[in-house]
Structure 1
Amino acid sequence: MTALALALSLLLLVIATALRAGGASLVSTPRADALHDAAEGSDRAATVAEILDDRSRIQPAIGMVHSATLVAAVLPAGWALAVDMDGFPLAVALTGLGVAVILVGDLLPRSVGRRSPRTLAYRLAPILKRAVAIGGRASNFLLEEEDAEEEIEQDAQDREEIELISSVLDFSDTIVREVMVPRTDMVTIRENDVSDLAVDVVVEHGYSRLPVTGEGFDDIRGIIYAKDLLRFLDEGTAPEAVSNLMRPAYFVPETKRVSDLLSDMQSGKVHIAVVVDEFGGTAGIVTIEDLIEELVGEIVDEHDTEEAMVEVADDGSLLVDARMAVEELSELVGVELPDEGWDTVGGLVLGLAGRVPHEAETFEVEGVVLTATRVQGRRIAQVSVTPPSK
């Protein structure tokens, strides 16, 4: 079954490659040349001339069919990989699959097609004609007339197609602060604790690596690995101080781009980094899994539990996890909420209050009513959101 799925992916990738190369060759072919060759008896040149009669349809139509075929090519192969892998190896394999599909199914055939105008267009004329017909009907069905006119621009269509497929890999604008686990959610262990206690913490929370603190969160001394604890237990020796088993910590600024950090962590074989703010204090931690999830989406393992970021209360208001991004809440309620100076809904409420609010304390911004429904110490955990009345 796995071999059949891979064969299907390969077939669809070949079709997508042909569509991309043929489409690039087609738009580089002057219609006058096609008409001339058709007059000399070339049936395929006549087909190309017919397609080129309305150039505005070519890019949106072929682009839609090509994109759909490329996505369809990834699915069977992705399923086949998921059968044999899970966790981090699966994420890496899916990332490699995405890169290969973009190169083989889009970028390389585009270059080949532009270097071979007419030749490839004539050879692939039948499949290109069908693609234009299918894509044209789909475009008319899915797009409004105004959107369809915007899709006409040839160069813009090329860029949109690349961005659509490569967006899963392009996360260069995201900084570490946006994906890290904040210090309020960190689970740590002190350097003078013994190994037995460290094992209990690992088992209780399900983490394979824990930051080791000295005098507090802003004094990270190292990282303790669960596998080092297990190796120590296997030896059957007496409990040891965590400070004797920990490894050096890897520190990164919270403004570092996640794309750069992923590259650094991969090359340095580092799995967890301590994030520091501009004052040198600990802002949080980030793992290589957090970075991979920015590429491929949430990776759920046996220790993860599903936590809803938004719940609908009985009165119709929204109960929102305070860690939700302000941008996401803005999209949810249909109102542009201020996000300068903070990233999360909890940060927005703190900014409006100017202090740590009390539970049930209410604030209003842009017609949206925000209520701190759960406050844990100096941290807001949950916020009730009432959108503006229509």
Structure 2
Amino acid sequence: MTALTLASAGILLLLAGWIRAAGTAVARVPRADALRDAADAVSGAEPVADLLEDRDIITPAVGVVASALLIVASVLAMAALVTGLRPSRALALAAGVAVVNLVVGDLVPRRIGRWNPRRVAYGSARLLRLAVGLGGWANDLLPELEQEDGVGEAVTEEEEQERELIDSVLEFAETIVREVMTPRPDMVTISADAPVEELIKLSTQQGFSRIPVVSNGDVVGLVIVKDLLPMLNEGRRPESVAEVMRPVEFVPETKLASALLSELQESHIHQVIVVDEYGDVVGLVTIEDLLEELVGEIADETDDEEELISVADNGWRVDARLPVDDLAEVTGVALPAEEWDTVGGLVLGLAERVPREGEEFAFGPLQFQVTRMQGRRVSEVEVRVNGQIEAV
């Protein structure tokens, strides 16, 4: 009987760990990637894409199911092991069970889920669907209870700001570098063999003190304008940027932003280059980018306020870098922010190819016209409203 109880506890513990790993993995899979994999007939991609349509419910639902399984596993293990033991030994055994549950049921599964998110999520698609269904049913009870408890309570502006900050911190814990980086097309770079005069001119025009250095299309270093000042003061004038550049750090685009922020603070590095799984440069991220994810936009005296959306004759003129959420807030139309981060990505998704200037695409009551392209990249879009708008 004891062996059967322990075996049941072990199975529940492993199941809880599997669910935790799957939940961690699916939270890191962009829905656009899952949809593309589903179109390529990758096993498990389609149900994961369906789950990601309502991403916000996945983590709490999976957490409820995994926690419930861990509790039951702990109870069964304690029932089988502590019978007849002295209180001191029973307490020590309880601590050991708690440690095993924490490691096997939480810490290790989370690391596995981060190791290869798509593979783990797709392989666990059926289990995820079941866990989200059960956990979502349990979580549906919570809003009603919170509403009853909060009747008559007024939320002050200070409390609202605190809640927004807490929400930002919680979201930041799940944010990856790709979501906050400056994409490669928007990077300001300088050639390694460029003269110092060009560096001074570029820094003055763009207002950047740190500029990535490129050679043969690849980033090979980083130049900090401050490094040039002592040389000029001593009467030394380097012939090219390569003589003053520093080594540059590279990070994967799937790295957690919170982990990168800690590393940048410890190493006193302010800017790193972001690469994809093939080692190609896809963008850069600064410590300021990471802090802005927590506290909002940070501007100094030299920053010009950049307007990404303005009112046009029949709608809005929109910079393609504008987040989809911001456009949804302005227009009052619900847009799929989980699938595309920016308006440019949304237009590419609607076109399903690289669009041409002047082309128009519709999404619900909104009409998108591509007004400017930069190579294969959508740069500016004009957005108009056709018909009745449904509130977000």
TM range (shorter): 0.5 to 0.7
Q: Find the residue that maps to 1:336 and give its secondary structure.
A: coil
Shift of 1:323: 0.5
Kindly tell me: are residues 162 and 228 of structure 1, through their superposed partners in 2, closer, same or farther at Cα, counting changes over 3 Å?
closer
TM score, norm. by length of structure 2? 0.56
Q: Find the residue that maps to 2:173 and give its secondary structure.
A: coil
| Equivalence for 1:235 | 234
| Equivalence for 1:322 | 320
Kindly tell me: are residues 363 and 239 of structure 1, through their superposed partners in 2, closer, same or farther at Cα, counting changes over 3 Å?
same
Q: Find the residue that maps to 1:291 and give its secondary structure.
A: helix
| Equivalence for 2:27 | none
| Equivalence for 1:338 | 336
| Equivalence for 1:37 | none
| Equivalence for 1:357 | 355
Q: Distance in 2 between matches of 1:236 and 1:324?
A: 45
Is structure 2 residue 167 aligned with structure 1 residue 167?
yes
Q: Distance in 2 between matches of 1:194 and 1:335?
A: 50
Number of residue equivalences: 239
Shift of 1:287: 0.9
Q: Find the residue that maps to 2:310 and give its secondary structure.
A: strand
Partner amino acid, structure 1, of 2:192: E
Shift of 1:187: 0.8
Partner amino acid, structure 1, of 2:180: V
Kindly tell me: are residues 380 and 166 of structure 1, through their superposed partners in 2, closer, same or farther at Cα, counting changes over 3 Å?
same
Q: Distance in 1 between matches of 2:161 and 2:225?
A: 44
| Equivalence for 2:311 | 312
TM score, norm. by length of structure 1? 0.56
Partner amino acid, structure 1, of 2:292: E
Confirm or deny: 8 A CA contact 1:194 1:242 kept in the other structure.
yes
Q: Distance in 1 between matches of 2:387 and 2:362?
A: 13
| Equivalence for 2:74 | none
Q: Distance in 2 between matches of 1:162 and 1:279?
A: 40
| Equivalence for 1:135 | none
Is structure 2 residue 178 aligned with structure 1 residue 177?
yes
Cα shift readout 1:79-122 (whole Å, capped 9, x = no counterpart): xxxxxxxxxxxxxxxxxxxxxxxxxxxxxxxxxxxxxxxxxxxx
Higher alpha-carbon deviation: 323-332 or 268-277: 323-332
Confirm or deny: 8 A CA contact 1:196 1:239 kept in the other structure.
no
Shift of 1:167: 3.3
Alignment of 1:249-260 (within 5 A): 249-260=248-259
Moved over 6 A (4+): 159-162
Q: Distance in 2 between matches of 1:308 and 1:161?
A: 24
Cα shift readout 1:261-307 (whole Å, capped 9, x = no counterpart): 11110001100010112222111111111111122221112331112
Kindly tell me: are residues 361 and 226 of structure 1, through their superposed partners in 2, closer, same or farther at Cα, counting changes over 3 Å?
same
Q: Distance in 2 between matches of 1:242 and 1:366?
A: 50
Query: How big is the alpha-carbon RMSD for the aligned residues of Structure 1 and Structure 2?
Result: 2.8
Is structure 2 residue 207 aligned with structure 1 residue 206?
yes
Confirm or deny: 8 A CA contact 2:231 2:237 kept in the other structure.
no
Shift of 1:226: 0.7
Shift of 1:151: 1.9
Confirm or deny: 8 A CA contact 2:320 2:344 kept in the other structure.
yes
Q: Distance in 1 between matches of 2:207 and 2:340?
A: 30
| Equivalence for 1:262 | 261
Partner amino acid, structure 1, of 2:255: K
Partner amino acid, structure 2, of 1:248: P
Kindly tell me: are residues 153 and 282 of structure 1, through their superposed partners in 2, closer, same or farther at Cα, counting changes over 3 Å?
farther
Shift of 1:221: 0.4
Partner amino acid, structure 2, of 1:189: I
Confirm or deny: 8 A CA contact 2:165 2:294 kept in the other structure.
no
Q: Find the residue that maps to 2:383 and give its secondary structure.
A: strand
| Equivalence for 2:367 | 369
| Equivalence for 2:21 | none
Partner amino acid, structure 2, of 1:273: V
Partner amino acid, structure 2, of 1:195: V
Unaligned runs of 5+ in 1: 1-144
Partner amino acid, structure 1, of 2:327: L
Cα shift readout 1:52-97 (whole Å, capped 9, x = no counterpart): xxxxxxxxxxxxxxxxxxxxxxxxxxxxxxxxxxxxxxxxxxxxxx
Identity score, percent = 49
Alignment of 1:1-390 (within 5 A): 149=148, 151=150, 163-164=163-164, 166-170=166-170, 171-216=172-217, 219-315=218-314, 317-339=315-337, 341-390=339-388
Q: Distance in 1 between matches of 2:296 and 2:161?
A: 21
Shift of 1:332: 3.0
Confirm or deny: 8 A CA contact 1:199 1:229 kept in the other structure.
no
Unaligned runs of 5+ in 2: 1-143, 154-158
Shift of 1:331: 3.3
Confirm or deny: 8 A CA contact 1:362 1:370 kept in the other structure.
yes
Q: Find the residue that maps to 1:385 and give its secondary structure.
A: strand
Over alpha carbons, which structure has the higher Rg?
1
Kindly tell me: are residues 161 and 235 of structure 1, through their superposed partners in 2, closer, same or farther at Cα, counting changes over 3 Å?
closer
Shift of 1:240: 2.8
Confirm or deny: 8 A CA contact 1:319 1:382 kept in the other structure.
yes
Partner amino acid, structure 2, of 1:193: A
Kindly tell me: are residues 293 and 318 of structure 1, through their superposed partners in 2, closer, same or farther at Cα, counting changes over 3 Å?
same
Q: Distance in 2 between matches of 1:206 and 1:244?
A: 21
Q: Distance in 2 between matches of 1:153 and 1:178?
A: 38
Q: Distance in 2 between matches of 1:204 and 1:162?
A: 38
Shift of 1:327: 2.7
Shift of 1:165: 5.2
Q: Find the residue that maps to 1:172 and give its secondary structure.
A: helix
